[in-house]
Amino acid sequence: MLPLSPFLVSVALMLVIGLGCLMIKRDMVRLLIGVEILFNAANLCFIAFSTQNIGFVDPFAHSVVMMAIVLDGTVIAVGLAMVLNVYKHYKTLDIRKLRRLRW
């Protein structure tokens, strides 16, 4: 049985770092990396809680994480295709230039 606190501290750290990356960075690809960091934080949280049985590992959390990794890959792929299209129109990757729509 592994100690839980280091895992939870790293999950909290990764959440804050991912959110900070989403808030601060202006490059669109870096925003995608921030979303990826948030995904990894959530998956690590599941795996951390699955080790909390003495001598056993809970396979339910592992199955949730396996499905979530696949979904995360598809979402990032679609996001990257969208970033490509944005570059074709705006000729820049700066997200602060996307202000033509009101919201």
Min dist. Cβ of residue 71 to another protein (A): 5
Min dist. Cβ of residue 93 to another protein (A): 11
DSSP conformation class of 44: H
Q: In which element (H, E) is residue 68 found?
A: helix 59-90
Query: Do residues 69 and 43 lie in contact, with contact meaning Cβ atoms separated by under 8 Å?
Result: yes
Sites for another protein among residues 48-67 (CB under 8 A): 49, 51-53, 55-60, 62-64, 66-67
| CB-facing half-sphere around the CA of 36: CA atoms within 13 A | 13
Min dist. Cβ of residue 30 to another protein (A): 13
Sites for another protein among residues 9-48 (CB under 8 A): 9, 12-13, 15-16, 19-20, 22-24, 28, 31, 35, 38-39, 42
Query: Do residues 24 and 34 lie in contact, with contact meaning Cβ atoms separated by under 8 Å?
Result: no
